Amino acid sequence: ERAGARGETVLVALDDRALSTLACNIMRRLGYVVLESMSPADAEGFARVHKSTIHLLVADLATPRVRGREFVRSMKTIRPGLKSLFVSSQRYGSLAERRVFESGARLLHEPFTPEELAHAVRRALESAE
């Protein structure tokens, strides 16, 4: 089965501009409605004013300014039911990774291929998170 969009909207909040643009372009080609934010505050603004459902937040696991889990938690207070996919260049040991993702959050390691992104987004959208 093709890992493409089914009418979903994805909000991208990645610190690295080049990576953000690449991810957004890949997801747009897959048919997703993509909102690209320039900062966590910008993403929160999108969450507050966007009229229709935002199905998935794609965010950094950690940035110099914001810890990903706290950011996702605050976004879920604005948008209950929002699912999340974390992106990270770090490799975590299995125990640490289990602790971080016990809530059902998903993780995509950089660098990733367009196919890996497509499948990670689809899995996150279909998760029971």
pLDDT-based confidence at residue 107 (cuts at 50, 70, 90): confident
Instruction: Express each pLDDT in 9-50 by its tens digit.
Output: 999 999 899 999 999 999 999 999 999 998 888 999 999 999
The amino acid present at 105, given as its one-letter code, is A
Strand-pairing partners, residue 67, are 62
Instruction: Express each pLDDT in 62-98 by its tens digit.
Output: 766 667 778 888 999 999 999 999 898 876 555 555 5
Predicted pLDDT at 117: 96
pLDDT-based confidence at residue 127 (cuts at 50, 70, 90): confident
